Amino acid sequence: MFYNIINSERRLGHSTTTVTNPRTNEPLWEVTVANETDLNDAVQAARSLPDEVEYEDEKLKIVSTHHPLGVVGAICPWNFPLVLAVGKVAASLVMGNCIIIKPSPFTPCATLKFAELATSVLPPGVLQALNGDNDMGRLITLHPGVDKISFTGSTATGKKVAASAAQTLKRVTLELGGNDASVICPDVDVKSVAAKVAAGAFFHSGQMCVATKRVYVHESIFDEFRDAFVETVKGIKIDPSGDQPTLFSPVQNELQYKIVQDLIADCKKHNYTILCGGSSTDGQPGFFIPPVVVDQPPDDSQVIRMEQFGPIIPLAKWSSEDELIRRVNKTDTGLGACVWAKDVGTAEQIARKLEVGTVWINSSEVPNPRGYFSGWKQSGIGGEWGKQGLLSYSHTQTLQFYK
C-alpha cells in the first residue's frame, strides 16, 4: 500500500485510486488520495548558504544574507517522478525549508515511498507527500501557508499554476515544456553523431522536457545522416514484457499516447514521408509506439511546431547559419538545444544565438545539477539547480554597513 506522508506518519486518505501499468494497460496498486484536510495538516506540520560580501570600500560594506522561505510546495510530473522530486527536495532542505511534494497521479508510488522512507532520518514535518489530482495541486498553490511553488510540467498547466499562485503572490519556479532542436554541422563524424542523436531523442520514448524534438542537419551531409539515423532507430529494442534491458519505454499514459498517435495521423494525412515507424499497435497491450522518423516536413507542420513528448522525430535540412537560427528560434518555447560540430568555435557561435536556457555542445541533453537549468520564453520562470537554483529557495536580505 502507498500512503500519504504527513508529519512523518503514514496516513490513508478518504479514497483511493489505481495506477495503470503502461506496458499492459492493467491495474497495478491502489494508492491513497489526499484531500484538503490532509493538505492543511501538512502545512501545519511544516511551519543555508553563507553570507556574501557584494561590495566593500573604505566607507561601505554590502552583504547579502540568505534565509529560508518556509514551506515549499513541489508539484512533480510523471516522466521522471522520483529524480525530479528529489531535486526539489534536496534544494529545499539545503536552504532550510520544509517541503510538501505532490507527485503526478499517473506515477505516485515511487515518490510516496521515498517520503515514507525519509521519515526514518528527517524530523517530523520536514518532508511530506500528498497524492492527488489537479484539484490537490490547485489547493497547494492557493494555500496561504505555502510560501513557494516549484512546478515541473507542461506550459499549459504552468500558466494555471502561475495564475493560482499569484493570488497570494507566492514565489514560483516553473520548469515547463520545450520544443528542443539538435543542430548538426557539416564537419561531424556522421555515423557516430547520428547514433548519439537518435539515442538521446528516443530515450524514454522522447518523454523528457529537454529531449531533442527537431533535428536540423546541414544539407551537405543530410542524406548520409538521415540513413545512419534511421538505421540506428530501426535497431531500437522494444520489450513489452520489461524483461530485457532497453532505453525505450512505453508512452506513460493513455492521454499522451493519443496525442502522439494524432501527430502520426496528421503526418500521414499530409503525406509526409515517414522513414520508419508509424505502424498501428492496435490490439497490443500497453502504450508502446514504435519510433517514428519523418523526413523534411514543412516548418509549419504540427510535428515541427508542437512538442511531441513521444517517439516521433522530424528531420530537416539547413544551409545558411542565419536561416538555421531563424528556424530554430521560431517557437514560443526555449528550454534547451544541442549543437554538434568538430569545430567547437563554430558550435559555440551557433549556441550563443539560440534562444534557450541550456545548450549542450557535442552531447545529447544531460542536465547536470551543478548548472542552472531554466527556460526562456514560455518554457518557464526561474529555474532549478546550480547556485541560482538554490537561491530561489531562499529570501535574500541585504545588509549595508556604513563605516
Q: Which residues are catalytic?
A: 175
Give the Å distances, CA to CA, from 282 to 24, 236, 269, 286, 287.
13, 20, 19, 10, 10
Strands of 176-302 (E only): list them: 181-184, 214-218, 273-276, 292-295
* Coil, helix or strand at residue 380: strand
How far, in Å, CA of 299 to CA of 312, rounded?
15
Tell me, what DSSP letter sits at residue 121? T
Residue type, 394: S
Q: Are 354 and 335 in contact (CB under 8 A)?
A: no
Through-space distance between the first and last CA atoms of the chain, rounded to whole angstroms: 62
How far, in Å, CA of 316 to CA of 305, rounded?
13
Q: What are phi and psi of 296, to 5 degrees?
A: 50, 55
Residues 6+ apart with CB under 8 A from 285: 23, 24, 25, 26, 240
Q: Please list the residues that pair with 338 across neighbouring strands.
A: 182, 360
User: Angle of helix 134-142 relative to helix 155-165, nearest 10 degrees?
Assistant: 40
